[in-house]
Structure 1
């Protein structure tokens, strides 16, 4: 059937498609960045041009499907379907399948050099761990599924409202992610439901200190395989990291200790995300050095992601951190980049202090704000349940914001 419509020079057509085929069409068009109506138009053009009828498509359970097509195309399609003795539902399904076959899912673009994202701020309680986890999870989601994502261009405009406008369903990024819990408090490890490493066993601290007890790869655990498809891994923390600065003080080229430990793992991952401790000591030097831009690495791929809050003490801590990074840049001639600022736990209900502080962060243009994460109950619930936020509450506003952050730094 067809009925007149007012969508430019197109007409609205109504037929049927099976749900599985409609979902594949929705995902694939999002992957290629085109509209569903354009894909159906192309599929029908291909189908009517065939010399013979293609294979039968299973249309059991087909239900209503509507789109807009150029005037006259649906009439030509019905005529061709009649000549081929197939129903319009079957013909449309074959046309959609033909478009899918002609437009395979694009492959994941792997970085030539494994990216390193160092999430830091020596002030405790700003939410570095939550941002590390949410960012890693968002980078690892299924590229063949759709997830709600806040549109980046509306970042500032939407920061003080719960209105979900500006949200689109986009494919997951599908990257292979290693999250490194570099904090002796083990918050990231505990929040994701993993066990901290025993203090009498092997650990990242041992490898950085030059006394490994085995292969660091053996310590890695997989996070929620069902949701993340084996792409999201965690290197758990150990409380022995409280002694890391002491051990590093006697290590040769101590600033490169984290890189020496993690380098053998990098070939297995697209991105390594490091959750740093609230410290300005030698461990932070090693983390910052790990995130430096390497030879032949493109700008903006690796660096420091600073988590702050919309309040005054966070600004004071930020100054201390940037001073340390600038010292490292100057003393060691390092090419260290800021990937941006993340304003976390933002709640406009706290009044002038919160809103004016946010304006202050937004006024900083180098580094710029790349994410505004609200304070939401789903984050606390996920921590309590020891579940990844994006699989526990995938449609929550905070998950939507985490995906926006991932696309800003991806």
Structure 2
């Protein structure tokens, strides 16, 4: 059946589709950035042009499905379906399957140079680890599934109305395919927070570690230390290089290493061909280890600006501003001393709660006013992240529809 034509000369058509086929249609249409009605229209056109009826599609359990088609198309479809002696439900299912078969999922767009994101701030307790993990998880999510993502306009609106940020507007959330990138999370903090939060075990002091490789004293292949994170959710695309408490001695050991600024790069370079993105969760420090992390995040020859660099995590309070100044001064010194092109990927205001009043809202406005680097993410202080840490699970598998997860996906896309 159909209803009168819409203002765009389309008519509403109501039929049935099996749930599995409808889900495939939604995901594939989103992957190609087309509307479902356009995909169905193209599928029916292709079905009408066939010289013979294609293979039967299993329509068991089909339920109501409605869309808008060009005026007259459904009538032509009904006539051809009658000639081919197939039901309208079967003909529609064949049309949708034909569109899926002729419109394969697009290839994942992989960077020419492995992106290196250094998540940093010398102040502890701002949530660098949560941001590093959340961004990495969002980058690695399944491209064959739809995930709720806060669209860019929501962040812009939130920043303009900072006293209302704690509220979530469902109209500003879209379902988008996962990015499907191969991601390595590097726990570069001797406190091992990232390792513990993701349910892994810190490396033993008497074994091999990233510290040993940076100090020129490896005891094996760094690949042997990698841990795959929640393969059921991330499909083997998300790995972790666990930390070791020996990193407390890293600055001392680096002091005896030649070209120590490049020590992290020398250690991780053999792994880069396996990954699209490497995120480094930095310690709350301004020592030699931070110099090495900043150097690793510099822009390389042939790399576009903004692909790699420093992602700075802050809170909407005064002490974060003081720590930010210290960090950016160190980065600027490195830029000058070593002639580095080190890009700022932006500022993430984490653990935000507008209900805390003037301190929070005015501090947020202060971050927004900086402009360069600009605020690229705003993550609320809600219970799901704390629960995920307690459960030692990734946030995006523990609470994939939470406001924090939605914000992490938006952040990952903002810096992509």
Q: TM-score, normalised by structure 2?
A: 0.97
Task: Give ranges in structure 2 of 5+ residues lacking alignment.
Answer: 160-164
- Aligned position for 1:70: 70
- Paired residues in the alignment total 410
Aligned counterparts of 1:19 and 1:162: Cα–Cα separation in 2? 29
Task: Tell me the residue number matched to 2:379.
Answer: 373
Q: Map 1:347-366 onto structure 2 (within 5 A).
A: 347-366=353-372
CA deviation after TM superposition for structure 1 residue 165, in Å? 2.8
Query: What are the residue-to-residue correspondences of 1:5-16 with 2, within 5 Å?
Result: 6=6, 8-16=8-16
Question: Structure 1 residue 43: deviation in Å?
Answer: 0.7
Picking from 203, 206, 209, the partner of 2:215 is: 209
Counterpart pick for 1:295 among 298, 301, 307: 301
**Deviation for aligned residue 1:5:** 5.3
Q: Does 1:189 align with 2:211?
A: no
**d(CA) in 2 for partners of 1:247 and 1:155?**
43
2:342 maps to which of 336, 341, 362:
336
Displacement after TM superposition at 1:322 (Å):
0.4
User: Does residue 219 of structure 1 match 2:256?
Assistant: no
Measure the CA separation in 1 of the matches of 2:411 and 2:121.
Answer: 17
Cα distance in 1 for residues equivalent to 2:375 and 2:158: 14
CA shift digits 1:134-158 (9 cap, x unpaired):
0000000000000000001220313
Which residue matches 1:40? 40
Cα pair 1:7 1:68 within 8 Å, conserved? no
- Tell me the residue number matched to 2:94: 94
Query: 1:274-329: per-residue Cα shift (whole Å, max 9, x none)?
Result: 00000000000000000000011111110000001101110110000000000000
Decide whether the 8 Å contact of 2:5 with 2:71 is kept in 1: no
Give 1:163 deviation, angstroms.
2.8
Q: Tell me which residue corresponds to 2:162.
A: none
Residue aligning to 1:58: 58
Residue of structure 2 aligned with 1:228, choices 231, 234, 246: 234
Match of 1:383 in 2: 389
Is the contact made by 1:151 and 1:404 (CA closer than 8 Å) also made in structure 2? yes
Residue 26 of structure 1: aligned partner: 26
Distance in 1 (alpha carbons) for counterparts of 2:370 and 2:62: 53
* TM-score, normalization by structure 1: 0.99
How far 1:118 sits from its partner (Å)?
A: 0.2
Distance 1:7 1:192 in 2: 51
CA contact (8 A) 2:124 2:284 kept: yes
Residue 7 of structure 1, CA deviation: 5.0
The SS at the match of 1:233 is strand
| Equivalent pair of 1:179/1:272 in contact (CA under 8 Å) | yes
Shift of 1:112: 1.1
List structure 1 runs of 4+ shifted beyond 4 angstroms: none
In the alignment, which residue of structure 2 is the partner of 1:165?
171
